[in-house]
Amino acid sequence: MRRHSLTPRQYLILAIVAVCAPLGDTCLSRGMTAVPQISLAQPGALIAAVFTPWIATGIALLIAFFASYLTALSWADLTFVLPATAFGNVIVALLSRFWLHEHISLARWAGILLITLGVGFVAQGPSLTERPAQPAEAEKVGVQ
């Protein structure tokens, strides 16, 4: 049953997943709009773009995201982890409102509410699908 509720450390890992993904995407966007348009005939230009500062920062953030994401997937379902990652969009929107003092429209507040509700739904349920124990595993549990 321990697997079905998360520890504070596991919540921290989900928070890193949520924050690093949107920040990384924003850095990638900033970097890719600053380079000339790339066509499919120039794959080398796409690789070269990886070494520009904004793209490199974006990649560093996405590596942190990926390491935390893999860890989360080892103890939780994909359909539990993914909605949790979307909460990062809410964090970015709230930061832009209260830190950068940007205007947030009614539609965006509705979006924030819906994402929060969605994440709340999955967070209340079990994090991992219960499966029948394998014979070897059941034996081990029986010994303990």
Partner 1 sequence: MTVPFPQATPGVWTAAAMIAAVVLCSTTGEVLTAAAMKSLGDLDEIRARSGLKGAIRAVLTCPLFFAGVSFLALAFFSLLFALNHLNLSLVAPASASLTLVTNAVAGKFLLKENVDRRRWAAAVFVCVGVYLLAH
* Binding-site ranges for partner 1 (CB under 8 A): 3, 9, 22, 25-26, 28-29, 32-38, 40, 46, 49, 55, 62, 70-71, 73-75, 77-80, 82-83, 86, 89-90, 93, 107-108, 110-119, 121-122, 124-126, 129-130
- Structural contact between residues 49 and 38, judged by C-beta atoms closer than 8 angstroms: yes
In the complex, the smallest distance separating the C-beta of residue 60 from partner 1, rounded to whole angstroms, is 14
* CB of 19 or CB of 93, closer to partner 1: 93
Nearer to partner 1 (CB atom), residue 98 or residue 125: 125
Choice between 46 and 133, CB closer to partner 1: 46
Question: Measured from the CB of residue 90, what is the shortest distance to partner 1 in angstroms?
Answer: 8
DSSP letters, 33-71, are HTS----TT-HHHHHHHTTSHHHHHHHHHHHHHHHHHHH
Residue 84, burial from CB neighbour count under 10 angstroms (0-12, 13-18, 19+): buried
